[in-house]
Amino acid sequence: MEKSKIKIDLSNYVGIELSADFRGYEDKTYNILTSLYNSKSDLPQMTGWLNLPHDTKMFDDIQNFVNKTISEDKYEHLLVFGIGGSSLGAQALLDGLNTPLWNRISKGKRKNFLTVDFIDNLDPQIIRTILSRLKLDQTLFVVISKAGGTVETMVPMLIAKEWTGENFYKQCVFVTTQGKGLLFDIAQKNNIPLFPIPENVGGRFSVFSPVGLLPAALCGIDLNEIKKGILDADSICQMKDLKTNHAAMIALASYFSYKAGKNIFVLMPYSTCLRKFVDWFVQLWAESVGKNLKGSTPIPAIGATDQHSQIQLFNQGPNDKLTCFVKINKHKRDLTVPDFSNETQEFRIYAGHKVGDILNIELNATRRAMTENQRSNFTVSLPELNEYYLAKFMYILEVSTAIMGNLLEVNPFDQPGVELGKKYIKEELAK
């Protein structure tokens, strides 16, 4: 049976963003896409992430390692060290797809997959707490760094090494660049399994490499469905017709709004499970398009929570934002509100509604209010929140980000502003 499709509804957008000339930009966008796709094997172009949906060997290697690890049953916990692009993608997949409070459910309910924690900062309290709560002898450590020696990854790794003792490296897997860098050298010396990050895949575009997929699969995420999702996204993203090419549509909507003075891009899914997905997107967008004094600023928001927080500003503050709402048509494990109208008539309006449907009614109401206030917005609908649709949407957003960078005439794949800071940190530490 054919799967339902992800849909984009721009009906609220086109009446507000009057200068948006989608048809007039169809050729230009298609040319950008063609040159992105044509550069997939050209190392310096950094578009190797477009090869990942087709990398069957990578998917098989990860799956075989995961099957072996889970069947050996040596580990209870997974602890991931990594920062930025080397952490957020896996967090987005796991928070979006696994049951909330995953670490608190029994091993049986987890089907022997591992509990998971991420250390993605140098907050000593977090490092100490996580390391002291885990049974370190039953923990698999996945250390992820493309450069191979990032401070925020090395420091907690060294502390974990001291706390775990001599077996630490035996319990490690590294995800890093093949053939160079500190992690590669340590892996060679200590016989540590290593999953390579292709050279032409940048950190923030690496979620569908072992960077995102290895931690996700160790915690039960279905890689086959992820693969199907990104393969389908990959075909959609190469279409010229804007009606089909969601990536081009999102990039163009953000570009026209930016040109019209809306230099803030709000991503607002109506689901708390998508909080980390928004964090992932914020990094992807900010690091890719924010350079040469250009770029729209991504703002994270969650519906309905932010209706009681940022929406006031979005609706009546400066008219400098474009909002992309994300709707989940059918929420997982939905609940029906009981009928307590015999207690007070005020409860009657809730009775019999599904909670997920109320959330979506709230989304529609917010869209309507924003549109009445001439606030640019459009909505992406996912039929449901599962591996296939989340991966598909994330891939579409990666391509949108690459197109937006090109429309703005900046290089979406470098990050000189990040590298400079990294250099100064190492200089200070060495003093």
Catalytic residues: 287, 308, 422
Candidates 84, 229, 269, 300; binder of ligand PA5 (CB under 6 A) is 84
Taking the complex as a whole, the smallest distance from the CB of residue 198 to ligand PA5 amounts, in Å, to 13
Q: Rounded to an integer, what distance in angstroms lies between the CA atom of residue 10 and that of residue 22?
A: 11
- Residue 145 binding ligand PA5, by CB under 6 A: yes
Angle at 154 between CA 148 and CA 158, to 5 degrees: 135
Q: Does the footprint of ligand PA5 cover residue 238 (CB under 6 A)?
A: no
Residue 269 interacting with ligand PA5 (CB under 6 A): no
According to the binding rule CB under 6 A, does residue 150 interact with ligand PA5? Answer: yes
Residue 355 contacts ligand PA5 per CB under 6 A: no
194 beta partners: 174
Query: How far apart are the C-alpha atoms of 102 and 115, rounded to whole Å?
Result: 7
**Nearest approach, Cβ of 344 to ligand PA5 (angstroms)?**
52
Q: Which stretch binds ligand PA5 (CB under 6 A): 7-15, 41-49, 81-89, 387-395?
A: 81-89
**Whether 299 contacts 267, CB under 8 Å:** yes
- Region of 77-85, 113-121, 160-168, 238-246 interacting with ligand PA5 (CB under 6 A): 77-85
Site for ligand PA5, residues 153 to 172, rule: CB under 6 A: 153
Q: Tell me the C-alpha to C-alpha distance, in Å, between residue 42 and each of 39, 46, 112, 146, 231.
A: 5, 7, 41, 19, 21
Q: Stretches 28-36, 83-91, 187-195, 396-404: which one binds ligand PA5 (CB under 6 A)? A: 83-91
Whole-number minimum distance, CB 149 to ligand PA5, in Å? 8
213 or 236: whose CB is closer to ligand PA5? 213
Look at residues 151, 200, 152 and name the one whose alpha carbon lies nearest to residue 177: 200
8 A C-beta contact, residue 251 and residue 38 = no
* Binding flag, residue 85, ligand PA5 (CB under 6 A): yes
Rule CB under 6 A: say whether 405 interacts with ligand PA5.
Answer: no
Alpha helices in 191-295 (DSSP H): 210-218, 223-236, 246-259, 275-289
DSSP string, 9-44: E-HHHHTT-TT--TGGGHHHHHHHHHHHHHTTT-GG
Q: Least distance from C-beta 400 to ligand PA5, angstroms?
A: 16
Q: Burial, 225: exposed, middle or buried (Cβ in 10 Å; 0-12, 13-18, 19+)?
A: middle
Q: What distance in Å separates the CA atoms of residue 26 and residue 262, rounded to the nearest whole number?
A: 21
Q: Does residue 48 bind ligand PA5 (CB under 6 A)?
A: no
**C-beta of 422: minimal distance to ligand PA5 in Å?**
7
d(CA 393, CA 381): 10
CA torsion, points 157, 159, 160, 163, in degrees to nearest 10?
160
- Among residues 146, 262, 275, 392, the one that binds ligand PA5 under rule CB under 6 A: 146
- For residues 365 and 313, give the distance between their C-alpha atoms in angstroms, rounded to a whole number: 16
Residue, CB closest to ligand PA5 = 203
Q: Out of 14, 147, 337, 358, which residue is the one contacting ligand PA5 (CB under 6 A)?
A: 147
Site string for ligand PA5, 191-210 (x = CB under 6 A): -----------xxx------
List residues near ligand PA5 by CB under 6 A.
83-86, 145-147, 150, 153, 202-204, 287, 415, 418
